[in-house]
Chain A
Amino acid sequence: MRLGADFEGVKHLPKHLRPRWRYLAVGIEAWPDADVDRRAFQRALWFAAGNLLGDVGSAALDSSLLHFRFDDSEGDAVVRVRRDAVEQCRAALAAIDEVDGQPVGLRIRGTSGTVRACEEKYIRRPPERSKERTVAFADTERPAVVRGDRIDVVDSDGRVGATALDIRDN
């Protein structure tokens, strides 16, 4: 049997047979000392999907992490997922409460049909840098990390999320 030219090398599926993808823009927030890297986040997503949806559900998502940035306690990611499994992927992302033992807040900012549209629309420039400062919180001077209106205070039990409204003299 003679193999035709189509069988040589890696062939892509014809366009109408390729999976249809959606791209989810994810916003990530953590405490100031958190260090979340791409691999750890990817692992957290795999485990979240596997634990919540099982192997079958995970396979149905067919998710992959296309973009990841995290620095100075916040970041963003673009997750690609099969178009018919967006809601399951949303649920798996919502169930990520820690990455490498570090608490994280996650939010899906939006979804798009192309990675480019997703990044243009929902991935922002890195925000203003945070500053370390001492603030008057709950009648005590406390070290804090300040980023605009958001203020993460260190107290005797760890971190407390606050805003300018909570700080005396504001």
Chain B
Amino acid sequence: MYEGVHAYPDGRATAARLAKTAAAFGYDGVVIRNHGDAQTEYDPGRIGERYGIDVVRGIEIRSDDPGQASGLVGNYRSKRTIVCVHGGSLNRFAVEQPAVDVLAHPMDGGDINHVLAKTAAENGVHLEFNLARVLRAEGGERVGAIKGLRKLRELVEKYDAPYVVSADARSHLQLRAPRELVAVGETVGFEREAIASGLAAWGELADRNRTRRSDAVIEPGVRVEPRDGDGEGGR
């Protein structure tokens, strides 16, 4: 299972500290999804090796302007393994872009309807069930977040849209172990399996995109297989 996190300077812990803590909590990987204007320098290979966890380069593109967001998606698609779009006003834009992997927190400052859910499903854009405000807000804000999650869940089920789940941690202290997120999800109406598969989906996206980016793939669905006796990496 994987988590999508914001590292320093976007959050209050470095990629290494988040990875170390996530590994101790039983995660297989973390996706570093800092906002575009708060990027960070880190060495995923070195961190991953030290703490025994897959560190995935991601980004969360944030913009008020779909035109600018479109340019950023094009720019970062080849530089990041997982490309997320900051949900809210960009919801419609994001679900229409097959190049977008994840529409982050679509119900926070925005909305999803049947048309957008269907479009997300068609384009393979994963909708995020973001548990941040269930875990860290209270009162009316939390009630609103739980209502948003329910609406999103009903639409995702109806249109079989792909999804991810995250606690959206901005520090090692905000990380919660997979079992804890399953329990929290259950209290707000999710099936236990839905939370687990939403956490696993980050890792599946990373695998898929790494395979696509490797030079063995010519175009989606067509890849070069090594010939017998050709050895590894033959073409």
* Complex CA distance for A160 and B173, rounded to whole angstroms: 11
A159 CB–B CB distance under 8 Å: yes
Query: How many B residues have CB within 8 A of the partner chain?
Result: 35
Given contacts A93-B180, A97-B174, A107-B176, contact A160 B8 (CB under 8 A): yes
Minimum distance in angstroms from B45 CB to a CB of chain A: 11
Mark contacts of B174-202 with chain A using CB atoms, 8 A cut-off: 1 yes-contact digit, 0 otherwise.
11110111011011000000000000000
Query: How many A residues have CB within 8 A of the partner chain?
Result: 32
Tell me if B's interface is mostly helix, strand, loop or mixed. Answer: helix
A163 CB–B CB distance under 8 Å: yes
A126 CB–B CB distance under 8 Å: no
Do B12 and A160 touch (CB < 8 A)?
yes
Q: Which of the 9-residue segments A9-17, A83-91, A116-124, A128-136 touches chain B?
A: A83-91
Pick from A29, A51, A108, A165: contact of B50, CB under 8 Å: A165
Do A165 and B46 touch (CB < 8 A)?
yes
B134 CB–A CB distance under 8 Å: yes
* Minimal Cβ-Cβ distance residue in B for A107: B177
Q: Closest 4 CB pairs between A and B? A: A161-B13, A105-B173, A94-B180, A90-B183
Q: Using CB atoms and an 8 Å cutoff, list the residues of chain A in contact with chain B.
A: 29-31, 51-53, 57, 87-88, 90-91, 93-95, 97, 103-108, 149-150, 157-163, 165-166
Q: Using CB atoms and an 8 Å cutoff, list the residues of chain B in contact with chain A.
A: 8, 12-14, 16-18, 20-21, 24-25, 43, 46-47, 50, 134-136, 138-139, 142, 171-177, 179-181, 183-184, 186-187
